[in-house]
Homo-oligomer: A and B are copies of this chain.
């Protein structure tokens, strides 16, 4: 899932990148965990070079923090960066959803319904991965409808921060149902070509992550880095 734009390098770096990124986002590697180039190289049976390349890229995305001569660490969750990411995503997706609502077709309406069906099944099977995947696919599709499909790549980069929060908060079935209802609302309004309604629904949907963030910040404060002040770390920019 979360098939982000792959680096153009060799297939070795590609795999490492996808795998490590997933492990970080799914919080198998907790924020603050120290990793190292040699450790990872040996573990994967490759040399430092491709690993190093992947580290650099993930550091650019804000998922790793490289401290020269000291080590590389899974970035702590910075509230500031998370809120920045949410802002970017909301701004871009609310704009594209307006365009999408003005670009509807029978085919598109059917496709959107299919995405909803997939999500409902994922919830029924209690398959978080599958739900996230279907979620992503639907957002991708909606952005494509807006006429700027490449925007998704940028959002993917920014979204990593948000996804990590979602994974860590272990969203429950109830929560997934709420998200699904929001998706249903968005889709219905987009299909009706209700631009302002669709935008409002998308905004509410994307802002619902705030609750998740607050809950997580309360229950697992050790995962966060305090300063909400001037953000010294980039917000991602895949």
Q: Which residues of A contact B (CB under 8 A)?
A: 5, 7-10, 53, 56-57, 59-60, 66, 68, 80-81, 83-84, 87-88, 91-92, 95, 148-151, 153-154, 157-158, 230-231, 234-238
Contacts and interface: CB of A to CB of B under 8 A. Distances in A.
A72 to B, nearest CB: 10
A8 B65 CA distance: 9
Given A8-B68, A84-B150, 12 more contacts: A9-B56, A9-B66, A9-B68, A56-B57, A60-B60, A81-B150, A84-B148, A87-B151, A92-B92, A149-B231, A150-B234, A153-B237
Number of copies of chain A assembled together: 2
Contacts of A92: 88, 91-92
Nearest to A83: B148
A231 B151 CA distance: 10
Most chain B CB atoms below 10 A, which of A10, A53, A60: A60
A234 B230 contact: no
Contacts of A157: 237
A7 B59 CA distance: 9
Given A57-B60, A60-B57, A10 B68 contact: yes
Contact of A237 (B84, B91, B154, B230): B154
A10 B83 CA distance: 29
Nearest to A235: B150
A60 to B, nearest CB: 7
B150 A231 contact: yes
Contacts of A148: 83-84, 87
Given A84-B148, A91-B95, A92-B92, A153 B56 contact: no
A180 to B, nearest CB: 27
A47 to B, nearest CB: 13
A154 B106 CA distance: 36
